[in-house]
Amino acid sequence: MTDNIDELERKLSKIKQTKPRRLVMDVLRDAEKPLSAVQILAEIEKTGEQIWLSTIYRILDLFVEKDIAIKSTLLDQDQAVYGLNQYQHTHYAVCIGCHRIITMDNCPIACDSFEPSLREDGFRITGHKIELYGYCSECDKKR
């Protein structure tokens, strides 16, 4: 379902290589957490390179289409975030206070034989998303 680095390289080799695509890819490779388009722009600008936001969106759409990246919309965030599709499904906890994203290293669905009970027949499941929410230690203190 998810890929290792070689698998990513194989997918990348199937699309045209351009400088903007390399820039976005480099940022995603280095990121430990999914990033928004604006965050990716900021990372690229830090290196002195220039790129347009619409180009980033187009590249991210392509990456998602080619299964290179995964797009998510986390709790109450008003923008989408993107991460490489290289981890065995990773999930996150989101702080309601500061919107910090914290990586979760395990998954409740992977470890047992969960059978979803859906109100419609014949749904073919291709993936899942789990999000915990609550307060990080810092925001918890402030309340």
Partner DNA sequence: ATATAAATGCAAATGGTTCGCATTTGCATT
Partner DNA sequence: AATGCAAATGCGAACCATTTGCATTTATAT
Binding site for DNA (CB under 7 A): 15-21, 36-38, 50-55, 57-59, 61-62, 78-80
Beta strand segments in 12-100, E:
69-72, 81-84, 91-95
For residues 34 and 64, what is the distance between their CA atoms, to the nearest angstrom? 13
Q: Does 135 bind its own copies (CB under 8 A)?
A: yes
Q: What is the DSSP letter of 35?
A: B
Q: Does 73 bind its own copies (CB under 8 A)?
A: yes
Stretches 22-30, 39-47, 53-61, 75-83: which one binds its own copies (CB under 8 A)? 75-83
Q: ∠ CA(67), CA(70), CA(71), 5° rounding? A: 130
Q: Are 133 and 96 in contact (CB under 8 A)?
A: yes
Considering CB under 8 A, how many residues would be counted as binding its own copies? 44
Residues that bind its own copies (CB under 8 A): 71-77, 93, 95-96, 102-106, 108-109, 111-112, 114-137, 140
